[in-house]
């Protein structure tokens, strides 16, 4: 009798489990409306395309595009994502009233930068600051960028009479780049404190891991994933808190001094040339809300330092693994260095044609397959190919398809050709529908002129000073994380040029 009831209860549990799975499957089965981009068929219920999306991304999406065209949908982590390339991708970038970059999809920024308040307003102010104050004044900033980059190289790489091995290259370039950026953000006085540059450089690395958690709970409900990854924040842990405190401590006396100067000098007050001054010049600037401006500054530096240092890191690996390319860049650098006696100005950076082409090729080969999830914010949107996507639909940009377009870049589009753009009148800052590393349309990255300028200066100084090789002696691969990439993880060997 006992044996019989045990068997019955195992059987009942089994049946209940199957019923739950069936209900779950019915509830979660994607519903695709008429006229929507085709949903790529899948065989495993609930999981859908998640495995291929994570572990076979490039091949999987290439095959989908070949079969379904420039606009198709896949089912990953329990939700439908429409993948767009080429024409539809450009439409997403241009039609900002229909599509919005879904930054909260990457990280719960509203909780991390808890004092920002109105994100839309801060994004607008930061974009204006990057465009009108930072990128527009590169000429003025060039001496400072050069000075702090040289200082950073001395500090973080230094003398390499004997070959020196460096393991965490991204962290190394990030430390160097944080120096000029900190100076431009908070001014020379505050940036002279080591803890300030360290905080501005480090905080993106501190919050990054939160974004790397795969949204497995979204299989049940997207809100559940959001809830789980924000749990530590709900309990008061915030990786930014420590950095915020440091920055506030160091900028407070600087701001007080400037307010006093403004009062005493009146019209004769000469505004400082940094982001801090820009925030202070806002009509509603409120000294008692420094935490708000510091969080706004963090939002800007989050997009400014890690992106540039990641690209420079890729560039160092790309040149170190290709001795011929490295030598050609060295020849150009020597020529320019001779002309300017070692002190480069804005015009000298403009003359670095081979380096500019190299940087553009590095960015084109960042190898991220998909990037930047957008959301449909209008009632629906009909692409010019006739497909309609509904409000709330996640849209993922198939950037690697545009960046490796054979129609645009030629049959060798997949090859890394460092000097591809030298005679093409196509600088690394020029956005177009096939060069989407800086986005496009009216929200295209306004900091790109500054980023490329800075990247070229750091590469120029490193090329002149060191022989750089990969430890493996080979071209290193990027680190693939599903549809995204990070710079290679290998070591680089630096040795003084004789």
Binding site for ligand HEM (CB under 6 A): 93, 101, 123, 126-127, 130, 134, 300, 303-304, 307-308, 311, 437-441, 443-448, 450-451
3-state SS track over 320-335: HCCHHHHHHHHHHHHH
Which residue, 242 or 442, has its beta carbon nearer to ligand HEM? 442
Nearer to ligand HEM, 221 or 478 (CB): 478
- DSSP assignment of 250-309 equals HHHHHHHHHHHHHHHHGGG----SSHHHHHHTSTT--GGGHHHHHHHHHHHHHHHHHHHH
Q: Which of 93/255 has CB closer to ligand HEM?
A: 93
CA gap 119, 116 in Å, rounded = 6
Bridging pattern class, strands 394-397 and 79-84: parallel
User: Closest separation between CB of residue 440 and ligand HEM, Å?
Assistant: 5
3-state secondary structure of 111: helix
**CB 460 to ligand HEM: min, Å:** 16
Whole-angstrom distance, CA of residue 333 vs CA of residue 339? 10
Least distance in angstroms from the C-beta of 323 to ligand HEM: 25
CB of 368 to ligand HEM, least distance (A): 10
Residue 311 Cβ vs ligand HEM, minimum distance, rounded to whole Å:
4
49 Cβ contact list (under 8 Å, min separation 6): 40, 42, 60, 74, 75, 76
Where would I find the beta strands (DSSP E) of 154-289? 164-166
**In the complex, least distance from residue 331 CB atom to ligand HEM, rounded to whole angstroms:** 25
Kindly give the pairing relationship between strand 380-382 and strand 388-390: antiparallel
Say how far apart CA 29 and CA 24 lie, in whole Å: 8
Which residue lies nearer to ligand HEM by CB, 32 or 444? 444
- 300 in Cβ contact with 451 (< 8 Å): no
The residue among 123 and 229 lying less far from ligand HEM, judged by its C-beta, is: 123
Name the DSSP class of 432. B
Does the annotation flag 445 for ligand binding?
yes
What distance in Å separates the CA atoms of residue 59 and residue 400, rounded to the nearest whole number? 12
Half-sphere exposure of 149 (CA within 13 A, CB side): 23
DSSP 132: I
H/E run at residue 376:
strand 371-376
Minimum CB distance to ligand HEM smaller for 126 or for 146: 126
Distance CA 25, CA 38 (A): 20
User: For residues 303 and 427, which CB has a smaller minimum distance to ligand HEM in the complex?
Assistant: 303
Between residues 305 and 336, which has the closer beta carbon with respect to ligand HEM?
305
Binding residues: 445
Residues forming the annotated binding site for heme? Answer: 445
């Amino acid at each position: 009798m006992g044996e019989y009831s045990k068997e019955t209860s195992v059987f009942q549990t089994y049946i209940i489990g199957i019923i739950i799975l069936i209900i779950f499957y019915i509830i979660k089965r994607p519903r695709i409306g008429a006229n929507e981009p085709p949903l790529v068929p899948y065989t495993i219920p609930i999981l859908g395309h998640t495995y291929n999306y994570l572990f076979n991304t490039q091949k999987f999406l290439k095959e989908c595009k070949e079969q379904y065209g420039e606009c198709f949908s896949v089912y990953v982590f329990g939700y439908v994502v429409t993948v767009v390339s080429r024409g539809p991708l450009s439409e997403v970038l241009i039609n900002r009233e229909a599509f919005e970059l879904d930054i909260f999809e990457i990280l719960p920024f509203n909780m991390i930068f808890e004092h920002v308040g109105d994100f839309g307003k801060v994004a607008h102010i930061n974009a204006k600051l990057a465009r009108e104050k930072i990128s527009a004044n590169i000429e003025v900033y060039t001496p400072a960028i050069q000075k702090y980059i040289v200082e950073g190289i001395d500090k973080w790489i230094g003398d390499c009479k004997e070959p020196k091995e460096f393991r965490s290259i991204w962290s190394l370039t990030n430390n160097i780049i944080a120096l000029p950026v900190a100076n431009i953000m908070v001014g020379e006085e505050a940036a002279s404190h080591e803890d300030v540059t360290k905080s501005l450089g480090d905080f993106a690395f501190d919050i990054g891991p939160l974004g790397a958690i795969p949204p497995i709970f979204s299989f049940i409900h997207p809100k559940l994933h959001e809830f789980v990854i924000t749990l530590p924040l709900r309990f008061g842990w915030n990786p930014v808190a420590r950095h915020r405190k440091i920055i506030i401590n160091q900028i407070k006396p600087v701001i007080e001094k400037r307010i006093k100067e403004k009062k005493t000098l009146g019209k004769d007050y000469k505004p400082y040339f940094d982001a801090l001054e820009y925030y202070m010049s806002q009509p509603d600037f409120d000294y008692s809300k420094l935490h708000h401006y510091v969080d706004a500054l963090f939002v800007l530096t989050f997009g400014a330092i890690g992106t540039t240092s990641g690209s420079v890191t890729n560039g160092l690996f790309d040149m170190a693994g290709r001795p011929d390319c490295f030598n050609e860049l060295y020849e150009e650098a020597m020529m320019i260095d001779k002309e300017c006696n070692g002190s480069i100005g804005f015009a000298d950076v403009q003359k670095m044609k081979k380096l500019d082409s190299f940087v553009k090729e590095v960015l084109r080969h960042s190898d991220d397959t998909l990037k930047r999830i957008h959301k449909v914010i209008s009632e629906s949107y009909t692409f010019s190919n006739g497909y309609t996507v509904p409000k709330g639909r996640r849209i993922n940009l198939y950037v690697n398809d545009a960046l490796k377009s054979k129609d645009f870049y030629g049959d060798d589009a997949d090859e890394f050709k460092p000097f591809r753009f030298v005679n093409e009148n196509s600088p690394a800052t020029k956005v177009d529908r096939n060069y989407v590393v800086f986005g496009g349309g009216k929200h295209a990255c306004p900091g790109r002129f500054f980023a490329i300028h800075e990247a070229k200066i750091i590469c120029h100084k490193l090329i002149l000073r060191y022989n750089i090789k990969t430890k493996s002696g080979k071209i290193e691969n990027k680190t693939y994380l599903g549809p995204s990439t990070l710079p290679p993880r290998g070591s680089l060997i630096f040795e003084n040029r004789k």
